[in-house]
A and B are shown apart, each in its own frame.
Chain A
Amino acid sequence: MKNNTKRIIGFAINDFNRNKGISIATIFVLTITIMLVTGLFFFQGIAGYLTAQIQNKIDITAYFVDGTQEQDILNVKDEIIKMSPNIKNVEYVSKDQALATFSAKHKDDAVLGQALQEVGNNPFLPSLNITTNSDPAQYAQVANILQTSDFSKLIDKVDYSQKKDTIEEIYSITSNITIFGIILGIILILVAILVVFNTIKLAIENSKEEINTMKTVGASNQFIRGPFIIQGVIYGIISFVICFLLSGIFALILSSKVEVILPGFSLFGFFLTNWWIFVLIQLGFGIGVGVISALIVVKKHLEI
């Protein structure tokens, strides 16, 4: 048995070396397929980042008129939560907190500090920071509550109109990207199917007689199938190594360019933190396609 395994691996390595043309062609198509899958994973990472960004961005700040009682504001807060139950977060920021935050943020700015001192009293208004769950409908609902409820007279101004445009813009961008992703995914699957078929075809043309002969001299199915499967594994591993290195290099090179478009998102950082997922996807896909195509080819010819 041990001898057999050794022989099967030996046959596989020999066949691999002797059919360099086919080996290289197979690795090439397999590499492209895996790169497409990898691309989709990168894309998913970027989309995930964008979504998170939007979720943080869609918020509304309601400033209350100076001198509004804290209890009144907290009532408004409860009201909003009651009317829009799955809202992500409503945070009360008092006059003093607003001043403290501002001072902390600009503590190095002497001019601003002086200006504040000259004003004398606290110029900030108490406010409610409302974070929606990135659903535009919910966003509209909250805006509506703030404008039309009985407590709207307590509100000095609502800060959302400027953001509205950006929010809608980001939404259209992400939905466009999603459509793009779906199209890419379809192309990807088509390519993958083509690759598998191509691999099968090449192998069939090459090994039909051979499998036949092995069968007629009484080789067991395992003995015949083994080398083809091991070859599939070899194709998968080599393609994986190539793809893994390529993804790392691409991520490194494109990282700075992507950061210009998406501030705060590091492509290479994404690669580094998720390296084991890359290994899993690329190795799994490579070996999977390699072995399954080998199985299909041999199965077809073993039936005599």
Chain B
Amino acid sequence: MIKFNNVTKIYSQSTVVLQDISFEIKEGEFVSVVGKSGVGKTTLTRLILGLEAPTSGEIYFKGENLNTADPAKIQEIRRKIGCIYQDYKLLPKKTVYENVAYIMQVEGKENEEIDREVPKVLEIIGLGGKINNFPDQLSGGEKQRLAIARALVNNPEIIIADEPTGNLDPYNTYEVISLLQKINKAGKTIILATHDREIINKLGKRVVTLENGKIIRDEQAGKFII
């Protein structure tokens, strides 16, 4: 489904983030990407979304080379991916409800469906009582949960979760991870970037470990070892 082919990403001469990386993610997989802070986990997710272009090498999304895909195609791909960003990327001038609804409106969904789905997903994620708040009226954990609700609402084929539990308490962390597991069981692909050892060890799924711009380990049912 997603394929990296000798991908190198260099931001400026001095920061070589990824170096000649090749790997593949199959449909329905639950892949965790781990590594120290600054190793390039977020960069990897941005490459998949076409938000960054690789310095060399190719990335394929369902056989489509992102280097040569036109902007409309890239936007179509982005709509297929539910992404939980490490920095949330909420729309500051829209309410909680509107933030989630926007994703569905972008997809061109009908109003009836939006009115039905948005409250449901907000309820699941525990924001049912805050639908009219603006993002700056939410706590860190609430913002994170809003970001998660937004990634889930369109029922995307792939969810990319970049550190989705960084601001959550253990209870909410557990809830979010089991939610992701449930979605994965339903056949969706999950890419999870994290440095939370406990989560990884509990999951018992594929783990890709990055270090110094290389994949140093790629194991099915892996453990968190750095």
Residues of A within 8 A of B (CB): 3-4, 7, 14-15, 18-19, 209-210, 212-221, 223, 304
Contact = CB atoms under 8 A, between A and B. Distances in A.
Contact of A213 (B75, B76, B81, B91): B91
A3 B106 contact: no
A217 B106 contact: yes
Nearest to B101: A7
B93 A19 contact: yes
Contacts of A304: 51
Interface of B: 49, 51, 71-72, 75-81, 83, 85, 89-94, 98, 102-103, 105-106, 108, 110-111, 150
A216 B78 contact: yes
B175 to A, nearest CB: 23
B106 A223 contact: yes
A216 B83 contact: yes
B92 A219 contact: no
A217 B93 contact: no
25 contacts: A3-B108, A3-B110, A3-B111, A14-B98, A15-B93, A19-B93, A210-B91, A210-B92, A212-B89, A213-B90, A214-B102, A216-B49, A216-B78, A216-B85, A217-B79, A217-B83, A217-B103, A217-B106, A218-B75, A218-B77, A218-B81, A219-B102, A221-B71, A221-B75, A223-B105
Given A7-B105, A217-B106, 13 more contacts: A18-B93, A214-B91, A214-B102, A214-B106, A216-B83, A217-B78, A217-B79, A217-B103, A218-B76, A218-B81, A220-B75, A221-B71, A221-B75
* Interface pairs A-B: 7 shortest CB-CB: A218-B78, A218-B79, A213-B89, A219-B106, A218-B75, A7-B105, A18-B93
Nearest to B80: A218
B130 to A, nearest CB: 17
A18 B134 CA distance: 11
B91 A4 contact: no
A218 B79 CA distance: 5
Contacts of A216: 49, 51, 78, 83, 85, 89
A207 B181 CA distance: 36
A214 B106 CA distance: 9
B53 to A, nearest CB: 10
A220 B73 CA distance: 10
A19 B72 CA distance: 30
Contacts of B103: 217
A220 B106 CA distance: 7
A186 B94 CA distance: 41
A113 B94 CA distance: 86
Nearest to B94: A14
Contacts of A219: 75, 102, 106
A219 to B, nearest CB: 5
Nearest to A224: B106
Contact of A218 (B92, B93, B106): B106
